[in-house]
Structure 1
Amino acid sequence: MNLLKQFTLGQRRALTFATDTHTQLNDQKTIELIDFILKSNLALPNTQACLSFVILQTAYRYYAFSERLLNQIEKPEMAQSYSLEQLPKHLKALQNTLGFYQHISVQAHLPENNLVSVQSCTNQLFAIFALHFKPQLLDLETHWQKALSLLIPFSRDELIYEPAFSATHLEFMKAVDETQCIFAPTGKYWGANEWDETLSFQSNVEGFSQDFFRFMSLAKKEGFKGFAVRFPASYSASLETLSQTVAQFFQAMNQVDPAQSACLKNNITEPGWKFTWANEPMFLTAFGTCYPLKHPRNPYGFNHTYFFFQPDFVLRKHPGLTDGKEQQSRERILQNFTRNDMAYDNQGKELEVQRYIRPMQATDPAVNWWQYLV
């Protein structure tokens, strides 16, 4: 049995089952379900089903990748490391990490912690589960269905925002599947809450900023790559409108910046300028409905305006952008877009700020969105 593949496929199966049966989890419900498991008899199949469910759905919510340890667990020398006696320790470690994540509040600097990542916890837990409860892996859904009455009380309120289940995230992931960027399919992403037409622009951005701060606070440890925000299509009806929206968005974010950055008051066209929020510089990719379908910044046919944030601490650690590989990687990405009739051009767009928005034609001058800052 290929446990690396089982771990990945199991997450998708947990997502489908949870969505169909309305048993999706959030951090708090996961903590409560773990408490239930720790107090229950693991010899019972239904308890085992609850265990696999909480492992795989949490792994999905945090986009945990399979680690090589899953191929090592059946070696005799690994028996002690993955004994059932180790299970409570790893479950409690997961509780502690999720407890920290759910109570993150916006502050001037991203909070530090020495907790075990969800990535590591879920891999360790899946290794123990696979080693001791292998028959359950053969038909996860049947076991989850039998334990459904136990799982339902721990279901989250689906009307409350949860990053991995948000409409923004789910639609954005469909776009990720279609993009010509060679690195995108291997990334971990979250999406912001939905735009609320009953709120002002500033109030919507304040809500997004809270979601974004939580994302940035765990992105380093969990290896996330970016955060998607979705606006109505009207905010990118034309290139000028999209430029105005970016300027307004940055100004609104700047107003609620916990670190009170002065970045928008600096010379934006100076080499090295970056938009900074919560003391973290970042890159923005804007997608708009003003672009034709074969344009690299078209939102892949979806009728929304998308903004994709990548903090530098994530972007600059990407294997394809380190150790002198950046230029080669960028050329490979451009070649792939060009091969699919979606070419873009960086001549006259050497500054990062000139690439937040792309012009209609690849060789057109850079879009000076910053002229709309007030």
Structure 2
Amino acid sequence: MNMMKVFVLGRRESAAFAERRLCALDDAGTLKILSALRPILNTSGPLERVSLSVLSFVILLTAHRYNVQADRLLKTCRELEYLDEHGLDRLPKLIDELIDTLWFYAGIEVTPALPESDVRSVQDLTNELFAVLAVHTPEHLMQLAQDWDHPDVLEQLQPFARDPEDYEPVFSPTHIEFMTSIEKTHCIFAPSGKYWGADDWRSADSFEANVRRFGEGLFRFMAVAKQEKFKGFAVRLPAEMSDSVESLSRTTARFLDALNRIDPAHSTCLEGPVGGMGWKFDWAGEPMFLTAFGTCYPENHPRYPYGFDHTYFFFQPDFVLRAHPSLTPEKEPVSRARILDSFNKHGMDYDNEGKEAEAERYIRPMNPCDPPVRWWRDLPARAGHHPVVEPVA
């Protein structure tokens, strides 16, 4: 029995079951269930069926919500020499640690700097909790949905279900659609990443009000990403905001300007020379890279949004990019060349010639060899200040 595979399939099964049986959880609901379950775990005896089913559902759905990947410990946890490391007596401590972590994540608020904590990651904790179940209750793991569907189990889950109208990153339409795009991309590193999606665009709200909600989600993503090693955050806007390269340029400038105005760290990155070598967009005290996808691009373009009728922005903080083993300074040129080669092999050519500055790669021109799209020229002027742009060579 491959427990790494069982974990991955169980994650997916928990999400499907949660939707089908109306028991999808957020951090608040998960914490209430874990707090109620915690006293029952103070026992050396086997878990009774209902508590076991509630626990496995919460572990796997939490893993799903935080894009947890299967660790190699699941491959060895049932071997004799590792059994003592995954005893039932470890459950109380692991649950306490998971509660601490979720309390930290649930309490994240926008502040001038990203919050720091020494809590353990959901990635590590859910894998270790699942390893305990793999050692002691393997028969349950072979019939998860069947056991979850018991009335006594649903009675403990459904009262704490999240409001489906509330924003939850992994359940957002943006995330679900973007993950379908990830499955189709020719970027060789994308499929192995962990991502979140922003809240959906609200047509009744102003552009600025939408950006403010996106900013709140981006801040939470950045705080969680440092702990969980997430790779990026997707935001989607209406299709007409990228119906031409020029329109996408204006939208990018307007979006980044609006985001900068609500930056909790009050970055001045849009006030000095923008677009030159070494310039980066800063937000919440962290530099980041932006990739724009637009409805103006044809299917053979690397910034084509894979048939989805939306404008997409994809944010990657530098601390995420630099943590990737293939993007260390000495390996980055080779890795980027491999990515470019992968796209070119599939007829989705792009060219970095003449686009050495990072800002020149936010948006791609329609034709690979065309000059970079200088979106920063569309930045709106502010009272008493006009954006300074790099001169064109």
TM-score normalised by length of structure 1: 0.98
1:266-305 CA distance string (max 9 Å, x none) = 1113211000001100000000101112111011100000
Q: How many residues align?
A: 374
CA contact (8 A) 2:275 2:374 kept: no
Q: Does 1:224 align with 2:233?
A: no
How big is the shift at 1:38? 1.9
Question: In structure 2, how many angstroms separate the alpha carbons of the residues matched to 1:298 and 1:23?
Answer: 35
Structure 2: any 5+ residue segments left out of the alignment?
381-393
2:290 to 284, 287, 295: 284
Instruction: Name whichever of 297-306 and 4-13 sits farther off.
Output: 4-13
Matches within 5 A, 1:265-276: 265-276=271-282
**In structure 1, distance between residues paired with 2:58 and 2:137:** 15
Aligned pair partner of 1:139 in 127, 143, 156: 143
Q: What is aligned with 1:129?
A: 133
The answer to whether the aligner puts 1:330 opposite 2:309 as a matched pair is no
User: How far did 1:40 drift?
Assistant: 3.9
Counterpart in 2 of 1:36?
Answer: 36
Task: Quote the offset at 1:80 in angstroms.
Answer: 3.2
What are the within-5 Å matches in structure 2 for residues 175-190 of structure 1?
A: 175-190=181-196
CA spacing shift, 1:199–1:362, aligned 2, 3 Å: same
Alignment of 1:1-374 (within 5 A): 1-40=1-40, 43-146=47-150, 147-322=153-328, 324-374=330-380
How far apart in 2 are the matches of 1:266 and 1:5?
50
Q: CA deviation at 1:219?
A: 0.3
The structural deviation recorded for 1:77 is 4.1
Cα offset for 1:307? 0.2
Q: What is the RMSD computed on CA atoms of the aligned residues?
A: 1.2
Mapped partners of 2:138, 2:123: distance in 1? 21
3-state DSSP class of the match of 1:19? helix
- Find the aligned partners of 2:364 and 2:146 in 1 and give their Cα distance: 49
| Cα deviations by residue, 1:312-367 (Å, 9 ceiling, x for unpaired) | 00011111112622111111111111111101001111111000000001111100
Give how far 1:154 is off.
2.0
- Identity within the alignment, %: 51
Aligned partner of residue 286 in structure 1, secondary structure: strand
- Return the alpha-carbon distance in structure 2 between the equivalents of residues 24 and 151 of structure 1: 8
State the shift of 1:257 in Å: 0.4
Deviation of the 1:148 alpha carbon? 2.2
Of 87-96 and 68-77, deviating more is 68-77
Q: How far 1:76 sits from its partner (Å)?
A: 3.8
Residue type of the partner of 1:318? H
Matches of 1:373 and 1:61, distance apart in 2: 36
Q: Is the 8 A contact 2:200 2:236 kept in 1?
A: yes
**How far apart in 1 are the matches of 2:266 and 2:195?**
26
Give the TM-score taking structure 2 as reference length: 0.93
Partner of 1:231: helix, strand, or coil? strand
Q: Deviations over 1:95-134 (max 9, x none)?
A: 1101110111111111110001100110110001111111
Distance of 1:86 and 1:343 partners within structure 2: 52
How far apart are 1:309 and its partner, in Å? 0.1
SS in 1 for 2:9: helix
One-letter identity of the residue aligned with 2:238: P
Q: CA deviation at 1:19?
A: 1.3
Please, which moves more after superposition, 266-275 or 165-174? Answer: 266-275
Distance in 1, matches of 2:223 and 2:248, equals 28
Amino acid at match of 1:20: R
Shift of 1:83: 1.1
Indicate conservation of the 8 Å contact 2:83/2:135, yes or no.
no
Gaps of 5+ in 1: none
Provide the C-alpha distance between the structure 2 equivalents of 1:305 and 1:21, rounded to a whole number of angstroms.
33
